[in-house]
Every structure is written in C-alpha cells, then in structure tokens.
C-alpha cells in the first residue's frame, strides 16, 4: 500500500479525502487541479420542483446555498454526494451508482415525466447532459449553474516537491478534466519522467485514458466509479487497467 499519494480533487473535496486516507495510514499531498467558485445563484420557489438532481458534491453545496428549501427529494450521482446532501438537510435522498447514465436511469425508474419539473444543480462544465437526456424522454428539466470550476494555473509547490523527491507513490484521479490538467502541468514543469515510479489510481476508463500520456509504472482503475472503490486500488486489489 502506498504511504503517500497526491490528491487532485478541488480543495474542499481533497481535505475530506485526506482525512479518509489518514485513517488508512496514508499521507495526502493536496494538489487541486480545479478551483471551484460558487455562482451565488438564488433559486426562488424551489418547492415547485418535483425533485432535484445533482452530479457532484459541489452541485449539492451550490444547491444548499441557492435555496433554504430542504423538503426536496434529491437524486445524487453517488453515495458520497448523497451523504453530503443529507448533511445539508435534504430529504429524501437517493443515490445512483456513480455515473451520469446511472443517475438518469434511476430518476426514470422513480419518477414519471408528468410528475412535475426537475431541478438540476450543476457546474458550468458537464460531461453528461441530463437536461437533453431526460428532456428527450419527456421530462421537464431546469438546469441551474450553481458553481464554476476553473483549471489550476500551476502545479502546487507541495506536489512539485513530492514528484521531484520521489516521496509520493501514487496520484488519485477522479475526472478526465482534472487528470488532463495534471498531465499538462507536470509535463510543463519538466517532471513527466517522475511518473515512471508512481501509480495512477483512476475512477473510470475515461480517467485512465486521460492520464496515459505520462509513463506511469502502473495505471489502476476502480471496479466501480465510487470513492471507496477508488481507494481500494491503493490496497493492490484491482489489476492495472488494460492498455
């Protein structure tokens, strides 16, 4: 098991993840590849929605800031986001299996198009267009951008040091966008060859594809796109992702 890994999630998510890693005896080097900025959007009359759908923890944080209404059913992309929704006081909360496609399927299983409009609290960048996906099935979906995610301008000093001195044995990647940014910044810093002694731990095949420009010693992929399954790759469980 690695004793030190670089974490590329936005800062708030990285700090929560660092605590989980400490419980495993692993030191985390925080290297956020995205800077999350709330849009300060306000949602009036949220009670008119049949449900809300969120595809990230930042989405539920933004929804909580945008409305005081908590008696709003929430469909979350995964259990970590669902847990965050419950902490904000939303109820009831249902979790999908970690992907946008699974989230759309879950919502269509639980709701009918005629049940009422759905609120989608999202970031400015999206990978799965739930409004188009669900809209094509007859659902009325209002997308509200509650946060923006800006790419990091440079590789954080702590991550640069961990790469240079070889003290980190791996890097955790949760999205293709953050993975691509890490690859770009590491390459620009002249540190690409340092990856040859490290393992890339990836949430999904798309994330694994995004990191392959670096010469990793191994690329490991979560069995399912969940945080727990990604952390399980630190235990030498899943085999490296195929080339």
CATH of domain 36-150: 3.40.50.10090
- Point out which residues pair with 148 in neighbouring strands: 37
Q: What is the pTM of this model?
A: 0.81
Q: What percent of the chain has pLDDT over 70?
A: 96
- Provide the pairing of β-strand 4-7 with 27-30: parallel
- Neighbour count for residue 243 (Cβ, 10 Å): 6
In the predicted model, is pLDDT for residue 76 greater than 50?
yes
For the chain, the average pLDDT equals: 93
pLDDT band with cut points at 50, 70 and 90 for residue 55:
very high
Q: Quick: pLDDT tens for 176-190.
A: 999 999 999 999 999
Topology match between the domains 4-33+152-235 and 36-150: yes
Q: Are 103 and 77 in contact (CB under 8 A)?
A: yes
Lowest mean pLDDT among 12-16, 110-114, 138-142: 12-16
How would CATH label the architecture of 4-33+152-235? Answer: 3-Layer(aba) Sandwich (3.40)
Q: Quick: pLDDT tens for 144-173.
A: 999 999 999 999 999 999 999 999 999 999
What is the rounded CA–CA span in Å between residue 32 and residue 156?
8
**For the chain, which residues make up each domain, given as ranges?**
4-33+152-235, 36-150
| 241: Cβ contacts below 8 Å, ≥ 6 apart | 202, 205, 208, 219, 220, 221
pLDDT value of residue 1: 66
The encoded tokens of residue 103 equal 């989230």
**3-state class (DSSP) for residue 53:** strand
What is the rounded CA–CA span in Å between residue 139 and residue 226?
27
């Amino acid at each position: 098991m690695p004793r030190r890994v670089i974490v590329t999630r936005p800062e708030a998510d990285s700090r929560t993840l660092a605590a989980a890693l400490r419980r495993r005896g692993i030191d985390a080097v925080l290297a956020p590849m995205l800077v999350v900025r709330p849009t300060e959007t306000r949602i009036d009359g949220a009670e008119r929605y049949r449900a809300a759908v969120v595809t990230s923890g930042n989405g539920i944080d933004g929804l909580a800031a945008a409305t005081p209404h908590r008696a709003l059913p929430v469909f979350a992309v995964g259990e970590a986001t669902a847990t965050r929704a419950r902490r904000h006081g939303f109820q009831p909360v249902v979790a999908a299996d970690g992907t946008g496609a699974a989230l759309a399927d879950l919502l269509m299983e639980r709701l009918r198009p005629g049940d009422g409009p759905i609120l989608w609290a999202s970031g400015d960048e999206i990978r799965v267009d739930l409004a188009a996906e669900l809209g094509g099935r007859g659902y009325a979906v209002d997308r509200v951008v509650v946060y923006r995610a800006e790419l990091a301008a440079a590789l954080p000093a702590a991550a640069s040091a961990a790469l240079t001195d070889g003290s980190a044995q791996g890097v955790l990647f949760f999205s293709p966008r953050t993975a691509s940014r890490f690859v770009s910044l590491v390459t620009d810093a002249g540190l690409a060859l340092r990856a040859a002694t490290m393992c890339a731990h990836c949430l999904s095949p798309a994330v694994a594809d995004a990191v392959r420009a670096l010469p990793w010693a191994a690329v490991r992929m979560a069995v399912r796109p969940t945080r727990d399954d990604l952390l399980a790759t630190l235990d030498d469980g899943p085999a490296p992702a195929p080339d």
